[in-house]
Amino acid sequence: MNESAEVRAAAAAPQSAARTAATRPMLTLLRRELWEHTALWIAPLVVAAALIVGAIFGRAYAPAAMPISVGDGPVPPQGVGAMVTTALVMSFGAVQYFVMSVVLWFYATSCLYNERRDRSILFWKSMPVSDAKTVGSKMLMALVAVPLYVYLVTLLTTLVAIGIVALPRLSGPASVSVWDGGVWVRGQAFAFVYLVQSVLWYAPLTAYLLLVSAWARRNVQLWALSPLIAIIVERIAFGTHHLSTWLLYRLGPGWMSLGEQWFERLFSGPFYYASGGSSRGQIFAGMEPLRGFENIDLWIGLAVAAAFLYAAVRVRRYRDDT
């Protein structure tokens, strides 16, 4: 090595000692969750596949001219599209979001518990990632990434299913249109707003489950369900049921409760429309999705969620049971 090469090497040495590569910590933490908890991304696909298979069977075996009637008489052809579209958007959404809540329950209760049980927390903690970032990535996964993903999968599934249902028959009379684009767009928009509201409404539950997951030494599911034991104790000891009333409110669709009789209307809406004369706007009449944000309990719940999350970060930082 000649002199100038040595000089260059010497000059480069401090740089290489301080060499740092660009990192993407939050993205990496989220990817890491998907590696461990594969159900988060596989379950919605499995459900979507089942729904599409269901649509194919429905299309194949449905009678050639299925008479659709509501109340007094048959639905006029122009109402069928609105009905089928609404039914698909609603039923697919219901199945997907139910499965999602089951998957997220198990995700939230296990994500901070498994790492302590298999002691891999010692590996995770050997990395320059703060406890706040770690817990935050899990909350972000449960609160934003998974719901958004399930929403998009459901949206695409309804499109595929409608396409299948609308396939022209090989024989028999030409089928009526089962597609009502306007209804579909509005349905997806409402579904999105309600999804956002429900995710925010259940955020304290998610954060509570993360805290239990970070805290429980064993029997994490039992601890997660411990409020139910408190209800029984209250019943037996005091003969009251304040706790169960409150919990039912918090666990129920409180985020929807402000739209007046929207549920009945949502179901009857297409029929109003179908029975003719009414405007398309009536399908979702009575639904006031944005009013959910006016419920003060939603915001109190978010504050409680933040407190649970903070506690989960503290517990992960200071609990030492490895």
Partner 1 sequence: MTTVIEGRNLFKAYGANRALDGVSFTVESGRIVGIIGPNGAGKTTALKGILGLTDFDGDLTVLGRNPRTERDRLMQDVSFIADVAVLPRWMRVRNALDYVEGVHPRFDRARAEDFLSRTDIRQGSRVRELSKGMVTQLHLALILAIDARLLVLDEPTLGLDLLYRRQFYDTLLNDYFDKERTILLTTHQVEEVEHLLTDVIFLAHGHIVLSSTIDAIPDRYLQLTVGPDGVSRARELHPFYEREVFGRTALLYEGRSARELEPLGEVRTPSIADLFVAKMQSPDVTRTPGAGAPGAAPAPAPRATEGSR
Residues of this chain that interact with partner 1 (CB under 8 A) are 17, 19-25, 27-29, 31-32, 35-36, 115, 118-123, 125-131, 133, 317-318, 320, 322
State in angstroms the smallest separation of the CB of 111 from partner 1: 12
State how far the Cα of 123 lies from the Cα of 134, in Å rounded to an integer.
13
Comparing CB distances to partner 1, the nearer of 19 and 218 is 19
The C-alpha angle with vertex 188 and arms to 157 and 145, in degrees rounded to 5, equals 75
Q: Which is nearer to partner 1, 108 or 283 (CB)?
A: 108
Angle between helices 181-201 and 146-165 (to 10 degrees): 160
Q: Which is nearer to partner 1, 6 or 118 (CB)?
A: 118
CA distances from 46 to 32, 133, 318 (A): 21, 30, 39
| d(C-alpha 179, C-alpha 1), whole Å | 76
Task: Give how far the C-alpha of residue 240 lies from the chain's centroid of Cα atoms, to the nearest Å.
Answer: 34
What is the smallest separation between the CB atom of 6 and partner 1, expressed in angstroms? 18
As measured in angstroms, the least distance from the Cβ of 134 to partner 1 is: 9
Q: Rounded to the nearest whole angstrom, what is the least distance from the CB of residue 314 to partner 1 in the complex?
A: 12
CB of 40 to partner 1, least distance (A): 13
Rounded CA separation 7/152 (Å): 57
Rounded least distance, CB 322 to partner 1, Å = 7
As a whole number of angstroms, the distance between CA 36 and CA 220 comes to: 18
Closer to partner 1 by CB, 36 or 234: give it.
36
Q: Which is nearer to partner 1, 35 or 61 (CB)?
A: 35
Q: Is residue 129 within 8 Å of 25, Cβ to Cβ?
A: yes
Q: Tell me whether residue 23 or residue 226 sits nearer to partner 1 (CB atom).
A: 23
Q: For residue 153, what are the CA distances in angstroms to 25, 42, 142, 269?
A: 26, 11, 16, 25
